[in-house]
Structure formats: C-alpha cells, structure tokens
Chain A
C-alpha cells in the first residue's frame, strides 16, 4: 500500500495540490487536504465542474456539508461508481479515500504525452533556438573590455546600446529645397561650406538615425500631400499652388479666430490683461502679415514664384526698352536706306510667295480630283469585264444549241441517251463508292473506339500517377514530420533528467508480478491439498459407513442369539454415536474458528475506519450545527 500511496501523492502534487513533505500515506490525509486534492483533480479533469468548487473547507458546518454533497455529486458526474457522499470527505476512512483517489488519478488527462506527439512549429523551434543561444551566452563569463577575444566582442560589446538620436541635416537635394534653380550664393554654400552628411551631426553614432529621420519626414510629408491632393485638391480644380495658398489662408483665418476668442478682454482678471494685450498685438501683426506679408515672409512657393514673375516681367520690358533706346541714336542714314530697300524687296518676295502658294494649292486640289476619278473609272472597268465574260459564256452555249437545232429529233434522242448513260454511270459509281465506303467507315469507327479506349486508359493511368505522386509527397512530408519529431523527442529525451524512480517502479512492478505468481502457485498447491484432503475425508467416511453397516448387520444377527453380543451391539451403537458427535464438534470448532477470523478481520477494517474519532467528530459537528441553527433562529427572532 505504501507504494500506491507514494504514486498517488506524487500525481496529486502534479495536479496542483499542496501536500506537505511529511505526509507519506493516504492515512495521514486530513479532511482539508482531501477536499483540496479532489477539487484540484476535478479542475484538471473537467474545468467546468471543478471551477465551481472552492478548494478550501469553509468554516461553517452547514457550508461544509453542502460542499461535501456537491463534491460527491461532481465525483459521480465524472464517473465514480463507488459509494460516495458527504461523509466520504468529512469523516474519511482510508480505503474509500484511496479508491476515490485512484479513480481520479486514473482519470487525469495525460496532456504531456499527447502534446509531444505533434512536431513543434517553426516559431517554437525559433524560440527554442533563441533560448539556447541566450543560455549559451549567459554561461560565458563576463570579461573586461581589454581581455575580450574577437569571439566575445560580438555578444559583450556595448555597440548596439547607442540610443537613437536624430538631428536636423542640411542636404542640397531634398523636397524642402525646391527643384528650381537656386541662387548663386546657395550654390556656392553647397559647393564650398556644406559639411559632408557624416560630419554634420555632433555624434557620429547619430548619423544613420538622422538620415533615417530626415528621409522619413520628407517621405511622409510627400505622401500626405499626395493623398490630400488626390482626395481634395483635385476636386477643387485649382493648381497646386493656388490650393496651397487657399489652404494657408484658411488656416491663418482659423488661428486668428481662435486667438481672438481667447483674447477677449476679461475684466475680472488683472494678470490676464497684459497677456491679452500682447495677444492683441500679436493679432495685429498677424493681420498685417496676412495682408501685407512684409513682416513675416512666410512665403510659400506660390508667393515666391508670383513675386518672381511679376517683378521679372517689368524688368524685361525695361531692358528691351533700354536696348531699343540705345540702338536708336547710333544708327546711320545709309543703313536706313538699305533697310528700306531690303524691306521693299522682302515684301515683294513675300507677295510672290503667297501667290505661288495659292497656285500650288489649286493644282493640288485638281490632282486630288483626278485621282478620285481614275479610281472610279478603274472600278467601272472591272465590273464591265466581269459582265463581258458572263455574256461570252452565254453566247457560246446558245451557239451550240443553235448548231444542234436543224436535226432536233436525233439530237434530242442522243442527248437523252447520253443523259441516261451518265446517270447510270453515276449510280454505278455511287454503289462502288458505297462498297468502298462501308469498310472504310467501319475501320474508322474501330480505330476511333480504339483511340478513345486508349485515351481513357491513359487518363486513368495519369490519374493513378497523380495519386501516386500525391501519396509520395504525403509520405515524404510525413517522414519529414516524423523525423523532426524524432529529433525533437531525442533532444528532449537527452535534456530530460534520467528519472531513477521510473526504473525503480518497473523493477518493483516486476517484483510484485513475481510475488503474485509465487502466491498463485502456493494457492493452487494449497487448493489441491485441500481437495486431496476432502477426497480422503470422503473416502474415510464412506469406508466408515460401510464397515459400520457391515459390523452392525453382523452384530445385529448375532445379538438375537447371544446376550453378551447384544451388549456389545449397544456399545457399538454408542461408540458410533459418540464418534459422530466428536466429528460434529470438530467441524463446529472449525467453523467457529473461521468465524472468529472473519470477525477479527472485520474488527480490523472497522478500526481502520477510525470510527471512534469520526463519531466524535460527527458529534462535535452536530453540536456545531445545532449551535448555528440556534444562532440563526435567534437572529430570525431578533429580526
């Protein structure tokens, strides 16, 4: 029983019950411990049932009683067949509890065994690899930086600990800098004074961070603008610049409104007057900026370009004017004459050119007309030729008929015979054709059938091949899975601590089995012995009966004749009677001995049930319930 108890306690601990180290057998279990163990087991077996029960005994007696009832019900629901009630938990006896625990432990699901059957997923493998790596790294002792070998540098350097700090960068090619040509001084700055981007941040470590930050801000700005332009800007039917300026105006107006409402002078606060007046000033400057735009030149690209174009055009005009003015006084008389002559010539030539171009156009129109008429004529010619050929044919036929007309009768007959013979020939040919056709068609059908048969067979084979391929793939996958599972299990097995108790258990079990075999043999021996004895006894009694009957008869016969023999007959009868009595008594003592043994056993089991202590407990609990009841009654009366 100790072995069983140890296994039971081990399983109960695994199910989550908190069992003290000094509890070695089921006999030592208290009611609290029993309730806790049973509830934990039930929770593992069936969470829906187990979660409704508390694993600690409540202080109140009636509550305890109820808990015991519900526990008994739950155990029966799970499938426990034995006798069970609240008394099993509250007034426990060892064998009942042991049988209950054995049932529950058997019902505990073997989750671990089922779970390990499945090969681990990729993420699990990755996590395991990471865990193994970390474990390996943790097992390497820390070394001071000067003592590190290149192997350690990778894992122990403080390299990746740099924090991510971004700083603004100045770059010549970016979205902030517009793509149009930059003024000379900016280009000069880029050429001569702009530091390379790696030297711009104050720490070299923040170069990538700054670059990434710069890039991402530009990217997000561009994306946002694009999405806004596509969703709203395009609908407004404005150019991008106009849209931007309009949006800017709207935002400015909105901010202004907000500030104005905030700047409403409040008479009750003195401190606020200064700030509100400041705000009002700000507002004024703001209004100035939005109208004049000279205080804060927050010019967008639009305003810049606007300024640019508007200022440039007058300049250009002025330049042209100046050029003209400078050209005028320096011209000479002869040049003027020459110019006039040239102009006259030019105008004449232009007139000529115009005339010629007009003529050209006219001629071109004539050519077009002519080509169109040529086409028409060629079409007509073709149709005429076709009709001509038709007519020639008809003329030929008619001429032949006219030739035949003079001897009409004969010719008609001839023609009829000709027609008949030709029709006969046609029939003959048709029959011949039929003769040839039938076998050919048959052959064709046969071949077709053969073909279709082959096709069906080939498709069948194809599907078979496909099935085979599928099977091959499946089995390959399965094999792979199994192999990985095998590897996994192997590693798990290697990592597992070699459990000694397991082998001990198996040895013990084998021993027990051997013992049982031996006992069985002994029992059979004893059984055969008793059987032999029974046989012997039976034989002896039979012999006794027979000898008694024979002697009785003999003596009875002689007893009629002889007085002494009669006496001896009496003695014989008395002897027989006494002997039977003796046997009876021996048998009785045997049964009584057996009864005594039974009773002793019963006493032992009753002793095991801790009846006295349980009875005392029951008495106490009864008193407690009485007290509770009276207290409740008192409460009711008070209430």
Chain B
C-alpha cells in the first residue's frame, strides 16, 4: 500500500505527509480533491489508512531510523527519506497526541466544554425575577460517538456541582 506514494514526486511528498500527521494529531487532514488525479478513492483511503497507522506505530514504539527504514522498505530512498524527515520533525507532537489518546481510556470522556452565564430578568409570571443561570454544555465522547450535554443550573445547583468537582480534584491531587 505504501508503494502508492511513489506516484507522487518526492518534492510534494512532505506536504502530504505533514497533513496526514495533522490528522493523527486531531486536526483536518489532506483533502482528496487536491490529489484526485493521482489516486482512485480506494487507493486514497488505503494510502491514508496505512500511513496514519504506520506513523502511529513508529512513534508509539519509538522506532529508530533503521527500524523506520525497514518499515518503509517498499519505497525508494528519496521517498523514504522524505517520510523519515516528516516523522522526525513531528515526533514530539505525534507522541503528545498518542499520549492524549491513551489518556482517554474510559468509555466516556470530556472533549470540550463551554459555559454561558445568563440573567433571567423576568418570566411570564413574574415581572422581576433577576435570577442568574449558568448554561453548561459538555461535549462528550461516548464509546467513540460525539454527544453534547446541556445543563442549566441556578446558583445552588452550581454550588453543588462545584463542590463535587472540588472533591474530585482533591482525590486527583492525592494521587500525585
């Protein structure tokens, strides 16, 4: 599969590999429309898959240059050198991304969160309410599926949430 890379001239190779590394690190990867005249869809998908798994493997195992070269033995030397350069230059970043992936070991994990503070001035029943409300939205990843949870809390509920989180933080600090 890796052999397919040789369709690309070696000067353009680093650009593609860097985008693949971007995808491994959680950003947008290369767009197929730029390379659609070189590979078919299946070829493209296979190439992307094999490269991302290769990069993950190489960095996760901490392969030396020789080991990498054996992994890339299908390619000719200029392409091998280009891929090696890319992986070497991004080594630390990829490792960080892999460590993050390993950290997310539990079934549900928090990817992102956002909050908005609102002040309810009045309602249909009361002319002056003046109740602060906190809208907390959590982006969860549950068994690989993105799910967002929205919670609206008043002051007391927020206090309970904060105290619970503080207790959790205390436990984490004890582990350190």
Contact = CB atoms under 8 A, between A and B. Distances in A.
B170 interface: no
B86 A189 contact: yes
A165 B112 contact: yes
Given A131-B121, A163-B137, A189-B18, A201 B27 contact: yes
Interface in B5-30: 14-15, 18, 22, 25-28
A295 B62 contact: yes
A137 to B, nearest CB: 13
Nearest to B26: A168
A581 interface: no
Contact of A168 (B85, B97, B121): B97
Contact of A295 (B61, B137, B175, B176): B61
Interface string B99-127: 10000000000001010000101100000
Contacts of B15: 193
B88 interface: yes
A141 interface: no
A170 B62 contact: no
B96 interface: yes
A286 B95 CA distance: 17
Given A165-B139, A202-B28, A130 B121 contact: yes
Ranked 10 nearest A-B pairs via Cβ:
A297-B62, A164-B114, A189-B89, A202-B28, A185-B89, A193-B18, A186-B89, A185-B85, A168-B26, A131-B121
A296 B62 contact: yes
A535 B65 CA distance: 142
Contacts of A127: 119, 121, 130
Interface of B: 14-15, 18, 22, 25-28, 60-62, 85-86, 88-90, 92-93, 95-97, 99, 112, 114, 119, 121-122, 130, 137, 139, 175-176
Contacts of B62: 294-297
A168 B27 contact: yes
A120 interface: no
Nearest to B128: A127
Contacts of A170: 22, 25, 27, 93
Interface in A51-70: none
Given A186-B89, A189-B86, 19 more contacts: A130-B121, A134-B121, A163-B114, A165-B139, A167-B27, A168-B25, A170-B93, A176-B96, A183-B89, A185-B85, A189-B14, A189-B89, A192-B14, A193-B18, A294-B62, A295-B62, A296-B61, A297-B62, A298-B95
A188 interface: yes
A177 interface: yes
* Interface class of chain A by DSSP: loop
A166 B130 contact: no
B174 to A, nearest CB: 11
7 contacts: A130-B121, A170-B93, A177-B92, A185-B88, A186-B88, A295-B62, A297-B62
A295 B57 CA distance: 12
Interface residues of A, number: 33
Contacts of B95: 298
Nearest to A160: B116
Contacts of B122: 131
Contacts, number: 66
Nearest to A199: B28
A305 B59 CA distance: 19
Contacts of B119: 127, 130
B120 to A, nearest CB: 11
A31 interface: no
Contacts of B92: 176-177
A11 interface: no
B7 to A, nearest CB: 20
Contacts of B96: 176
A200 interface: yes
Contacts of A183: 88-89
Nearest to B139: A165
A200 B23 CA distance: 11
B170 to A, nearest CB: 15
A188 B85 contact: yes
Interface in A275-289: none
Nearest to B127: A131
A170 B91 CA distance: 12
Interface string A197-218: 0001110000000000000000
Contacts of B61: 295-296
A319 B112 CA distance: 53
Contacts of A168: 25-27, 97
Most-contacted residue by chain A among B15, B25, B27, B95 (CB, 10 A): B27
B94 to A, nearest CB: 11
A200 B18 CA distance: 12
B17 to A, nearest CB: 9
A194 B121 CA distance: 48
Contacts of B175: 254
Nearest to B16: A193
B132 to A, nearest CB: 12
Nearest to B86: A189
A251 B174 CA distance: 12
A134 B25 CA distance: 44
Interface string A119-134: 0000000010011001
Nearest to A166: B112
A296 B99 CA distance: 11
B26 A167 contact: yes
B103 to A, nearest CB: 13
Interface in A332-370: none
A185 B22 CA distance: 16
A297 B26 CA distance: 22
Given A127-B121, A127-B130, A189 B90 contact: yes
A448 to B, nearest CB: 67
B105 to A, nearest CB: 12
A163 B25 CA distance: 22
Nearest to B61: A295
Contacts of A295: 61-62
